Chain A
Amino acid sequence: MHSHIKQRLENIVDNLDQLPSLPDVVSKIINMVNDPNVDFKKVADEIVKDQAITANILKLCNSAYFSKGKEIASIDRAIVILGIREVKDMVVLATTKAVLNKVIMGYDLARGELWKHGVAVAMVSKNIALMKKRRDISDEVFTGGIIHDVGKTVLALFVQNTFKDILTTVEERNITFQEAEKEVMGFDHQEIGERVLEKWQFPPILRAIVRYHHEPQLAPKEHMAPVSIVHVANTLCLMAGIGIGSDGLFHELKPEAINAAGLTEDELEKIYSEIPEVMQKAGEIM
């Protein structure tokens, strides 16, 4: 254990200023949409206050991935035609790019790779939710998929300095890369990510996805299904090389997650084999 690194990370997670920021409007929208008595007009009013986000969302509305064929020229129409949960997903897409579209040093990810990985995991997660008739969580796993690795943006610099020790720990102790991160630095990227989402005031389901995406069996029971879906999507995307970095495939596909998501062997193979088609669609919303 590098105790000085642990101490520096403790300082970072205790000092919110050092964690990445998002515009306040994002948590406002997410929490408004989660309210069963949500007022669509208020959501639209909140979004249009920000011109840049509004322009981005209108572009996403008319992408083949989100479009339902009709040209959409206002946020009001977007909510009516595409749905409020889809518009919320677009708010997250439009605002998290600035945080995730970076060079991630220690994990050896070139600019754009972590962002592409997030979008791919989001889309695959949504496909799994729809395949398993869980439309009720399809938007949550999409949002969670985008940001599940946000902790890497903070941890990367420290991974760069301890990479050899982490890899040695993986090999000697026969533990996964994320478990070795915690052994060597006192924190793993899931825990740092959870702190980032606390700063952003994101709801518990999204915090659970970020905190447990490598160990879904430890997730609170009520969030087991969405966490498991993102876990499977993340693992399959890494196998297909989407956003794979220096941590490689030193991870585990958990049987508990496959069970919790209710996936059969054939379904897993189908999801994996369709990743190229997902990547074609991902291009236009990235």
Chain B
Amino acid sequence: MNNLINIGVAQIGSAENPAVLRTILGSCVGICIYDRSKKIGGMAHILLPKNNGKGNDEKYADTAIPMLIQKMLKQGCSKEFMTAKIAGGSSMFKFKSSASLSNIGDNNVISTREALKASGINVVAEDIGGNVGRVIDFFLEDGRMKVKAAGNEQLYYKV
């Protein structure tokens, strides 16, 4: 039986195989980073794109991602074996009112890609955008990511 670890909003976590990291996403982005050599996986669930220095680092793409990578490096991972899969970044179906909040899903995705690129981690799969809610399961035995959205399941195997 796999050890299931829930990652809440604005949290990061990492574990070794065997384990499954799970999170549930709306406009937030879930980042699944896998070291295929060590079979160690890390997940971040970011709420907002950029940290202006006010809040805790786990909340923002630009600070949570380097933090997660550092955590994994300390566990013995190395960047040459690490890749990322990302999911989430949905928008409200109808949103006429608030300009900045209406783009939050898209901005979270953009900032996530930038932070991963700046850290030298390749993005090998994305399941992003639209208006769906997503349940993400990240399996550390092989690094696959399962996305359940609007009643459908999709699997991403590439690592």
Contact = CB atoms under 8 A, between A and B. Distances in A.
A180 to B, nearest CB: 11
Given A241-B28, A258-B98, A279-B8, A249 B132 contact: yes
Most buried by A among B90, B97, B99: B97
A125 interface: no
Contacts of B100: 265, 269
Contacts of A167: 150-151
Interface stretch (A47-55, A148-156, A187-195, A270-278): A270-278
B101 A272 contact: yes
Interface in B19-34: 23-28
Contact of A246 (B10, B59, B93, B151): B151
Given A176-B93, A254-B97, A108 B24 contact: no
A250 B104 contact: no
A207 to B, nearest CB: 25
Nearest to B102: A253
A70 to B, nearest CB: 30
Interface string B123-136: 00000001111010
A249 B9 contact: no
A279 B45 CA distance: 14
Contacts of B67: none
Contacts of B45: 241
Contacts of A113: 24
Interface string B108-147: 0000000000000000000000111101000000000000
Nearest to B54: A273
A279 B24 CA distance: 14
B94 interface: yes
Given A258-B98, A268-B98, A108 B91 contact: no
A241 to B, nearest CB: 4
A233 B47 CA distance: 16
10 contacts: A239-B27, A239-B105, A250-B93, A252-B93, A252-B96, A253-B98, A253-B101, A269-B100, A269-B101, A276-B11
Interface of A: 108, 113, 163-164, 167, 170, 176-177, 235, 238-242, 244-255, 258, 265, 268-269, 272-273, 275-276, 279
For the complex of A and B, 8 pairs with smallest distance between CB atoms = A244-B133, A276-B10, A252-B94, A255-B97, A248-B132, A248-B133, A241-B26, A239-B27
